[in-house]
Amino acid sequence: MKYLIIPDLHGKDVWLNAINSIAHNQVVFLGDYFDYLDTEKEIANFFEILNHKKEQSKTMHLLIGNHELHFLSGIDQKYSGFKAKTFELISPVLEELISKGWLKVRMQLTSEPFVHMQELVQLFVFKTISPLI
């Protein structure tokens, strides 16, 4: 099994070239889809990722990064790059993706789990938001 791991995009669309040019069986996005480019480009890029996820639901996996956390209701932490406009537009989308099981904190595909950062797992366990795991 070949895994294509795509970390910390922060709004960049480099993932599409990687998916089309690197041989793989599974794709794992490690999160941090937002918080560095302008809001419209970040959101358009994220929705393009979601469209690919719809087409490849069994082979494409999306994890939450710390830069998605501050767009979730009930999370008080804010990271660099936070924009209120992005929060208004993306928060309901992220909440829906979590409820569908499309966006997770941790993904177990091998003997070792894929996770953006262990602190996220601990945060969600302590806040008892366990459906994300």
Distance CA 18, CA 26 (A): 12
The total number of residues written for the chain in this structure: 133
How confident is the model at residue 70, as a pLDDT? 83
pTM of the model: 0.83
- pLDDT, one tens digit per residue, over 55-102 is 988 899 999 888 888 888 777 777 788 888 888 899 999 999 999 989
- Residue 24's contacts (CB-CB under 8 Å, 6 or more residues apart) are 2, 3, 4
Element holding 107 (H helix, E strand): strand 106-107
How confident is the model at residue 119, as a pLDDT? 57
Average pLDDT for residues 100-117, to the nearest whole number? 80
How confident is the model at residue 74, as a pLDDT? 76
Torsion of CA 20, 24, 26, 29, to 10 degrees: -50
Torsion of CA 21, 59, 5, 96, to 10 degrees: 120
Of 93, 44, 45, residue with least CA distance to 73:
93
